[in-house]
Amino acid sequence: MLEADRALDQVDRYGRLLRYVRRSGLNVNLELVRRGAAAPYFYRGERGRHASALMLAATTAKATKR
Judge whether 7 and 49 are in contact, CB under 8 Å.
yes
The amino acid at residue 42 is F
- Strand 26-27: give its sheet, edge to edge: 2-3, 20-23, 26-27
* Per-residue pLDDT reduced to its tens digit, 12-65: 999 999 999 999 999 999 999 999 999 999 988 899 999 999 999 999 999 999
pLDDT at 44: 87
Give the H or E element holding residue 21. Answer: strand 20-23
pLDDT at 36: 97
Closest CA to 20 of 35, 43, 59: 43
pLDDT at 22: 96
